[in-house]
Amino acid sequence: MTQKVARTVAGSGRSSGFTLLELLVVMAIIGLLAAYVGPKYFSQLGKSEHNVAKAQIEAFAKALDNFRLDAGRYPTTAEGLNALASKPVNVRTWNGPYLAKEIPLDPWGKTYIYKNPGTRGRDFDIISYGSDGQPGGSDTAADIYN
């Protein structure tokens, strides 16, 4: 037969466990780790949004090049990026849609700006104004161009 053995702290009649002081030390260590890791994590999050915007702009640029090969020109500013998804009225040789999915918003939930002719010495501009949605800015609010 087996006997039940109660675990007790040597010399006392209490069960073993954690003291309040030990729990507070563990909570302080967890708090210090969170304070150190949190800002690094959130700074990476902002960088990833910029990378997503750059990748989407590159995809638009490739689709616009395909549009130009078929139509003989880039879409006008009025036609915008919508010309990649649906046929503009005055284009006869449209072989789209040129994007696999509908035109996405930028990572901050705003529409991309399309200009033809471009203002930076290019045929067209595709712009995301960053997290603030306003021209100019720095860090996560910086403008992203093609």
Using a cut of 0.85, tell me whether the model's pTM lies above it: no
Q: Give pLDDT tens digits for 103-138.
A: 889 888 899 999 988 887 788 999 998 888 778 777
Q: Give pLDDT tens digits for 18-28.
A: 888 888 999 99
Assess whether pLDDT exceeds 70 at residue 37: yes
- Give the closest residue to 127 by CA, choosing from 90, 137, 36, 23: 137
